[in-house]
Chains A and B, each alone.
Chain A
Amino acid sequence: MKKLHMNNSGLTRRRLLRSAASAGVVLAAPGLIRGAQAQAGDAIRLGAPFHRTGIGASYGRWYERTANAALKIINEGGGINGLPVEMIVEDDGTDPKRGVEVMEKFAAEHKVDAVFGHLFSHVVAATAPRAGELKMPYFLCSEAHTLASGAFNRYCFQPSITDVKSQVSSMAPWISSNLGKKVTLIYPDFNFGYDHRDNMTAAIKAQGGEIVADIAIPPTETSFTRYMPRIPFNTDVIYHVMVGPAVLTFVKELGEHLGRNRPEIFGFIDSLEAVDMEIPQLEFLEGTYFWEAMPRYAQETQSEADQAFRAAVGVDDRGASLDDPKDISTYAHMFSVWETLFAIKQAMEMADYRGPEQKIAMMEAMESISGFEEGAAFPQGDKIFNGKTHQSFGHQNISQVTEGKLKVVHRTSIEDTLYPDETDYTQMSF
């Protein structure tokens, strides 16, 4: 009945066709313009699905700045195999569904040579299978153990940042021998958090310790006081790793709740990434410990590579932006974008890569790499790359908050972070 009325009330066929046609033009226009730009062979195009908005926005902003700085250096040095490198950024909203859509867009519309720079593990978990289906080389700057556990496919690599399993297993012995054996875990209630829970529980048990409570917090939570009473009084160490826009609130409320008689606290720097720690409410953190992949504060033993990296990205000695001292970087993670770009460069040069028809040669070259030397291209430190699990292994740092600054007190060897292979991607077909 309603449809009949609509037809009578002036929506003629001609008018319908006209509006449909104009809508079609509007929808097609951006595709037309972009399509005209993409021509294979004149440049190497890398798709960068960064978390510009959503809960990962602060990471996304710094990943983008770091990638731009690295590309500037690569292009000034003649690009890759003489071809300039272009980066096409798409915002995935830190949303798994949009992560997949963006991956499809990179493959179908931008026709990029490879995709790199995804961080949040729930987005990666959704996007990686699609990358394999689209036969798109996909370089992760995430930390989840999912890749090395064999759950993804041969197109996925993590050449720079280490996975949670190796981070946790290398630090658990230090935690249980220096801080205590009764541990309370606080972690985000998704994939990345479960990696922490499962690996930490196993690692602490192996050290003869025990997990007295484990507290999972949804990543979109904004208020945390209500979770705090679940921390048992007999806790020796609180182990916390939180992500999302509310991390500062989390740390503040943890401090309010505990007061002076706090147990030892060991946190992943994720709980403080992009957060200025030199504020009065965070004074209770003095003397606590943090994991850092790359130390946010320039250390006395700072390498030349770290100095050059800070200058190129625009970050000062306390990890803040040179333009705005309140804009704190995600220093312990963002190096992975830089190093991943140089790893891609190395693999492409080994395969004399000129265009998508050499994708497989490039990925085989990547699998043949056994490690990276510390230096301008790898400022975080040297690495062992496992071509079978597609995962990198590197040094981990434990820093203590000393006079409001993070000071490295322990740096693991790479051997401490190794564990037996759980998969062999080279046995899979491309």
Chain B
Amino acid sequence: MDLAPYLLLAGLEGLVQASVLMLTALGLSLVFGVMRVVNVAHGEFFMAGALIAWACGAYIPGPPALGFIAGLLVAPLAVGALAWAADRTILQKIGYNPEGTIVSTIGMLYILQQGALLTFGPDARAVDAPFYYTIRTPWFGYSSYKLFTVAVAFALVAALWLLMRKSKVGLLMRATQFDRETALNFGIPVGKVYSAVFAIGAMMAAVAGVLVVPNQQAHYLMGTDPLLLSFVVVIVGGLGSIPGTIAAAVLIGLSDGLLSVFFSPTLAKIVSTLLVALVLIFKPEGLFTVKGRRA
């Protein structure tokens, strides 16, 4: 294959990767930024979203697009409710103690994973894409659904941005993030804000799961990879920084796409892990964070 189409394919792959990564990583970053909770169970919310999308596709009669749209609505709501409940019954009870939250979210990871294994079984479940159209170039074909994924992901990120910047809920979140004590003194219901943030974070992962599943199939072990990559993105971009996370997701996603098409996917993983190590050594607050200020 010539260089130009090669580059085009690599760029497309990277873009798809980046957009899904952006959604999952933003959820993780938001939860850490506001609540200071490292949510190890984040990948399992992604997996739960994918499995619910499969269930919607399998049990709702009619064209696949109907099931897909239902999944896009039901999955984040159900996963958000689950995360809300988890926050109320677990994280709140241990007072958001940093070590405690890590251990308890590891516990949640196993409960969700094994729960999915018990209810959905160990098989990979294929989900029909809402539409099939293969874009043909002279050199290769590319699924149009993948490009649709990119568009939806960017729209959702824009919506989150607006929510954080322009709405009252966003203001409450940012106030809580900036200074929890002061926010409490001003009468902000910090407990409720925390539950909402945890739910929104999980919903981002769930939507990413729904978007990915027509390309990848739903499987109870599928949460591990996105969790690791999200951590990579969040560390490179700066924990808790939304613009940093977006920039890092695009950087990691594109470099992953390019390196894995031109060289090998294993090399891509080596490079992104190396990047994490370098960032932790030389700029531990993240590549895109201005010291002392978080968005």
Contacts and interface: CB of A to CB of B under 8 A. Distances in A.
A39 interface: no
Given A225-B142, A228-B140, 19 more contacts: A52-B122, A57-B121, A57-B122, A218-B265, A221-B265, A222-B216, A223-B13, A225-B9, A226-B257, A229-B1, A233-B1, A245-B219, A246-B124, A248-B124, A249-B216, A256-B141, A256-B143, A274-B123, A280-B132
Nearest to B9: A229
Nearest to B17: A223
Contact of A245 (B123, B225, B266): B123
Contact of B217 (A57, A233, A248, A256): A248
A283 to B, nearest CB: 10
Interface string B7-19: 0011001000100
Interface string B109-146: 00000000100011110100000101010001111000
Contacts of B104: none
Contacts of A58: 123-124
Interface residues of A, number: 30
B65 to A, nearest CB: 14
Nearest to A58: B123
Interface string A263-295: 000000000001100001100000000000000
A256 B122 CA distance: 27
Interface string B42-81: 0000000000000000000000000000000000000000
Interface in A217-271: 218, 221-223, 225-229, 233, 245-246, 248-249, 253, 256-259
A53 B1 CA distance: 39
B265 A226 contact: yes
A291 B291 CA distance: 60
Contacts of A274: 123
Given A58-B123, A249-B215, A257-B140, A226 B10 contact: yes
A259 to B, nearest CB: 4
Contact of A222 (B123, B143, B225, B260): B225
Interface of B: 1, 6, 9-10, 13, 17, 117, 121-124, 126, 132, 134, 136, 140-143, 215-217, 219, 221-222, 225, 257, 260-261, 265-266
Contacts of A233: 1
Contacts of B13: 223, 225-226
Interface of A: 52-54, 57-58, 60-61, 218, 221-223, 225-229, 233, 245-246, 248-249, 253, 256-259, 274-275, 280-281
Nearest to A247: B124
- The SS class assigned to the B binding surface is mixed
A328 B87 CA distance: 40
Nearest to A259: B141
A11 B258 CA distance: 57
B177 to A, nearest CB: 33
A228 B261 CA distance: 8
B141 A258 contact: yes
A223 B141 contact: no
Contact of B123 (A57, A256, A258, A259): A57
Contacts of A225: 9, 13, 142
23 contacts: A53-B117, A53-B122, A57-B123, A60-B122, A218-B266, A223-B17, A226-B10, A226-B13, A226-B265, A229-B6, A229-B10, A245-B123, A245-B217, A246-B216, A248-B124, A248-B126, A248-B217, A249-B217, A256-B143, A259-B136, A259-B141, A274-B123, A281-B132
B134 A256 contact: yes
A58 B124 CA distance: 8
A259 B134 contact: yes
B13 to A, nearest CB: 5
A229 B260 contact: no
B142 to A, nearest CB: 7
A316 to B, nearest CB: 19
A242 to B, nearest CB: 12
Contacts of B225: 222
Pick from B121, B124, B225, B261 the residue with the most CB of A within 10 Å: B124
